[in-house]
Amino acid sequence: MKNYHQLFIFAREARNHAHVPYSKFKVGAAIEADDGNIYGGCNVENISYPCGTCAEAGAIAAMVCGGGKKIKNILITTDGNPLITPCGACLQRILEFSDSETRILLADDKDIRKILSIQELLPNAFKEF
Ligand code: THU
């Protein structure tokens, strides 16, 4: 996928469904997987705060459930500023399904602002490439 527009639109749509009564901070994620499909996720909070899940975790679960094995690209979008990078736990989740070609795209409401590799975000990680 040279043009990431489709991934961006998918993540923004997923973000609309976020369940965020506590933080009011909507996050959407979309994965382009090795099977050619796009899988979405949004954050789902819970009154018992630690039970909440990140958008990236939702998208990864959808990918695995749908039969995808590798993340080619994962795009994460918020409704505006600040631009966010995946949390530590989600970096580890992304790493599990990444290779050196995997790209992590960070977007605000308007566009993609940064494209990074998992090695840049999680250097010296517990995985062999
Ligand atoms: N959140 C995500 O969904 N992804 C991230 O990369 C960072 C944070 C969510 C968790 C929580 O529902 C809200 O954003 C505020 O932290």
Which atom number of ligand 1 is nearest to the Cα of residue 85?
6
Please list the pLDDT of the chain residue by residue as tens digits (129 residues). 557 999 999 999 999 999 999 999 999 999 999 999 999 999 999 999 999 999 999 999 999 999 999 999 999 999 877 789 999 999 999 999 999 999 999 999 999 999 999 999 999 998 765
E strands in the chain? 27-33, 38-42, 71-78, 103-107, 112-117
Domains and CATH numbers, the chain: 5-121 (3.40.140.10)
Closest ligand 1 atom to the C-alpha of 86? 6
> Is 56 among the residues known to form the active site?
yes
In this structure, the residue with its CA closest to atom 1 of ligand 1 is 54
Please name the amino acid found at residue 28.
G
- Does the beta carbon of 84 sit less than 6 angstroms from any atom of ligand 1? yes
* Angle in degrees, CA 9, 13, 16, rounded to 5: 145
For residue 78, what are the β-bridge partners? 27
